[in-house]
Amino acid sequence: MAKDSLERFVEKVEASWGPLSTELIAVVRDEMEKLVKTPTSEKWMGDIINDEPEDRDLWRNPKDPKYGRMLLVHTEATGRYRPPHDHGASWVIYGMVRGEVDMGTWIRVQEPDGKFNLVKRELNRLRPGQVKVFLPGDIHDTRTLVGPATILRFTERDLIREERETRRLTRYIQQDGVWVERKPQPVAH
Ligand SMILES: [Fe+2]
């Protein structure tokens, strides 16, 4: 049987895998641009369009299924806002299948007194077919303008571990007009 687009994506990414590099990002970005254009006649794409899963794993590295690189899908409702956050030590590539999402990129400006300020650098409106790369340390937010938005997300490692175990992932909230770090949520046992 012919391979589907998901299998081809995994094959190409795995064949190029290595430490973070310009070349690796270029490969995964190119493959993501192809993946998001998969027609709904392919079962996996038809399923995520019909089911609108809040999040669903599409692939995990079989050699490290708990912590390793992975591809998942999010479905976001119109108006959903995810405040600024980084992705710990991971890099991330988002790919838009359906809907419209504003992704802002932010920078954390450290003040001499130890305080910091988050400053929005730019805003990109992502439409179907478009992808966006975030490297380790990059901070971004997302606001869904047209939902349901179907967004593929490839991460270099599992972000749940980054957030709950290594505590490298930082989220921010606005308090009285000032962005502050949100304290890590209790670890679920
Ligand atoms: Fe993110």
C-alpha of residue 144 to centroid of ligand 1, in Å: 13
C-alpha of residue 173 to centroid of ligand 1, in Å: 14
C-alpha of residue 63 to centroid of ligand 1, in Å: 24
Q: Is the pLDDT of residue 88 over 80?
A: yes
Could you give the 3-state DSSP secondary structure of residue 45?
A: helix
C-alpha of residue 18 to centroid of ligand 1, in Å: 22
Q: Tell me the pLDDT tens digit for each residue of 55-76.
A: 999 999 999 988 999 999 999 9
Q: Could you tell me where the beta strands, DSSP code E, fall in the chain?
A: 55-60, 70-76, 81-85, 92-110, 116-126, 131-134, 139-155, 172-175, 178-181
Q: For residue 128, count other CB atoms closer than 10 A to its CB.
A: 15
C-alpha of residue 83 to centroid of ligand 1, in Å: 9
pTM over 0.85: yes
Q: Tell me the pLDDT tens digit for each residue of 14-53.
A: 999 999 999 999 999 999 999 999 999 999 999 999 999 9
Per-residue pLDDT at 124: 97
